Amino acid sequence: MADNLKVTTPISTSENINRITPTKTGALPDAVLPEKVSSRNTAEQAGRNDILFELNRNSVYNKYIQMLNSTPVLKSCLEELLFSSLFQQSVGVGKLRRRDRLQELMSDLIKMEKEDMVENIEYQVKHNTKFSGPLFNFLRSLCSEIKGDEFRQMLGEFLKAYDNYFSAEETFKSILHNLNNIVTRIPKSYASGIMDLMKQLSSTLSDDRAIENNATILKNQIIPKLAEYIARTNDFGEVRDEITLLLYNTSRLNTANRDNLVNTFEELLAFCRYNAGLSIEKAVVMQKLFEHALQNTSSPKNEFFDTLINLISRLPEYQSSRTEITAKDLASTLLLDNSVFNPFLHVFLPVNYHGKNMFTEIWVAPDSENDSTMSGGAFRLFLTFDIKTLGYFEAVLLVNRNTISTQIRIPPTLDVNINDIREDIKQIFASNTFTVEQLEIVKSSEQRTVFEVFPNISRRRRDINVTV
């Protein structure tokens, strides 16, 4: 009976009705845009002074900048290595410490005349990348003519196959290094089986058959055995990292054969010929350039840099008494200075010129700040050189065809007439067919960084964040 009774409230005709105030909710979150997968910096991060420009939080580029800031400067590393007491005969406890053959050779090689400096700098410029020579100059010209992602994707596949084929020996050495590190870190019961399989690997890669046999042993026997070890032990330490590197190097070795390289080139040539409208004359030139590159398997040699690399590889045996420079620090510095994140050409050269020790660095990059007023061939050059008996010099040159604008900084302690220096520099430029638009010479002890001279280093700060 009570369920049938309903109590109702009369409807009021007054406008002052006590309405229920709706609950306030926060602003709707911004929609997720596929092209923006990384969040912006927080206010706390934006206020930090060590970040010179806005970076994607936890991005790969951010980590690269952090590594670059924490890595020793190449100048200080090589100066300590080549110009310190390490290369001088010194009196030890009761006897004279003598330099060995490699040290003697390096000491002689850094003694250079002007012609030697030019030769070593040209070597770095020409061979700063494996993709140099007439074939790749031709492919670069095609990039400006043929537009579209399909062409770039096929070109990328060819470059990958080319790199893998001509790096097969280095890749296999890396594989052996990975395996040796693994067997020293795992129990002997597992290591003995891996070592037995390693004995089946061919030590020389004389032809494609040797490469294929080694890749087969790695894929079908060694890697499955390591996978079994990980599955049983759940080893997530250094062994897991070494196995990851082993898998990467094995994948490179798996495609490091001549047939794969030829097939990828033929696919690229067919696309250029029939899809991009490349003329038959240019197609013939492209084919001949590839055949010539395929026959030229010898690597360029340079005695100075070959000796320097050999010295760095055994650096832990010869640490300086003043600072401890390790091969890892120096190798990291060289790699970071030539990283793909840097849109520059970086050249360095330590020199002993008539008894005066000097270290110079040259950074060259396309000028992106004055695109509206300058042609596409304009570039900016940052030159530094440190002469021990005089001081630190640097020059920033903006070059556009045959015109130059430059600022030169000289040590404040140098007792010279700046007007005389200005006239001498103008004469040097004029003798090389350059016209000087602006020339500024100042005395300053400030040493600028590459970040200050090349602000376009931050061009990749908006890249997609691929950090896992």
What is the structure's pLDDT at 126?
A: 81
What is the structure's pLDDT at 376?
A: 52
Question: What confidence category does residue 286 fall into, taking pLDDT thresholds of 50, 70 and 90?
Answer: very high
pLDDT tens sequence across 390-425: 888 999 999 888 899 999 999 988 888 888 888 899
Q: Which tokens hold the place of 205?
A: 């890669």
Q: Which tokens hold the place of 269?
A: 């040539």
Count Cβ neighbours within 10 Å for each residue of 363-392 and write b for 16 or more, e otherwise: bbbebeeeeeebeeebbbbbbbbbbeeeeb
Question: What confidence category does residue 161 fall into, taking pLDDT thresholds of 50, 70 and 90?
Answer: very high
Name the amino acid, one letter, at 130: K
Could you give the CA distance from residue 143 to residue 159 in angstroms, rounded to a whole number? Answer: 13
- What is the mean predicted confidence (pLDDT) over 117-135? 86
What is the structure's pLDDT at 194?
A: 93
- Kindly give the interhelix angle for 74-83 and 327-337, rounded to the nearest 10 degrees: 140
What is the residue extent of each domain of the chain?
Answer: 35-70+338-468, 168-255
Question: With 50 as the cut, is the pLDDT of residue 463 above it?
Answer: no
- What is the mean predicted confidence (pLDDT) over 298-317? 77
Q: Are 160 and 267 in contact (CB under 8 A)?
A: no
Mean pLDDT check: name the lowest of 7-16, 82-91, 222-231, 335-344: 7-16
- What is the mean predicted confidence (pLDDT) over 79-105? 61
Burial of 113 (0-12, 13-18, 19+ CB in 10 A): exposed
Could you give the CA distance from residue 452 to residue 104 in angstroms, rounded to a whole number? Answer: 38
Could you give the CA distance from residue 124 to residue 454 in angstroms, rounded to a whole number? Answer: 21
- What is the mean predicted confidence (pLDDT) over 202-211? 84
Q: CB under 8 Å to 430, separation ≥6 — which residues? A: 436
Could you give the CA distance from residue 400 to residue 141 in angstroms, rounded to a whole number? Answer: 21
Better-predicted residue by pLDDT, 98 or 261:
261
> Which is it for the CA torsion 411, 415, 416, 418, positive or negative?
positive
What is the structure's pLDDT at 340?
A: 64
Q: Which tokens hold the place of 418?
A: 């700046």
Question: With 90 as the cut, is the pLDDT of residue 69 above it?
Answer: no
Count Cβ neighbours within 10 Å for each residue of 323-357 and write b for 16 or more, e otherwise: eebeeeebebbbebbeeebbebbbbbbbbbeeeeb
What is the structure's pLDDT at 456?
A: 63
- What is the mean predicted confidence (pLDDT) over 382-392? 87
Mean pLDDT check: name the lowest of 96-110, 174-188, 284-298, 394-408: 96-110
Name the amino acid, one letter, at 348: F
Q: Which tokens hold the place of 247?
A: 């898998």
Better-predicted residue by pLDDT, 317 or 161:
161
pLDDT tens sequence across 226-280: 999 988 888 878 898 899 999 999 999 999 989 999 999 999 999 999 998 899 9
- What is the mean predicted confidence (pLDDT) over 67-72? 69
Question: With 50 as the cut, is the pLDDT of residue 43 above it?
Answer: no
Question: With 90 as the cut, is the pLDDT of residue 299 above it?
Answer: no
Better-predicted residue by pLDDT, 459 or 448:
448
For 306, what's the count of Cα atoms within 13 Å in the CB-facing half-sphere? 6
Q: Are 246 and 182 in contact (CB under 8 A)?
A: yes
Mean pLDDT of the chain: 78
pLDDT tens sequence across 424-438: 999 999 988 898 999
Question: What's the length of the chain?
Answer: 468
Q: CB under 8 Å to 149, separation ≥6 — which residues? A: none
What is the structure's pLDDT at 76?
A: 74
Could you give the CA distance from residue 167 to residue 162 in angstroms, rounded to a whole number? Answer: 8
Question: With 70 as the cut, is the pLDDT of residue 373 above it?
Answer: no
Q: CB under 8 Å to 283, separation ≥6 — which residues? A: 269, 272, 273
Question: What confidence category does residue 21 fall into, taking pLDDT thresholds of 50, 70 and 90?
Answer: low
Question: With 80 as the cut, is the pLDDT of residue 140 above it?
Answer: yes
Question: What confidence category does residue 16 fall into, taking pLDDT thresholds of 50, 70 and 90?
Answer: low
Question: What confidence category does residue 96 fall into, taking pLDDT thresholds of 50, 70 and 90?
Answer: very low
What is the structure's pLDDT at 172?
A: 93
Question: What confidence category does residue 8 fall into, taking pLDDT thresholds of 50, 70 and 90?
Answer: low
What is the structure's pLDDT at 60?
A: 67
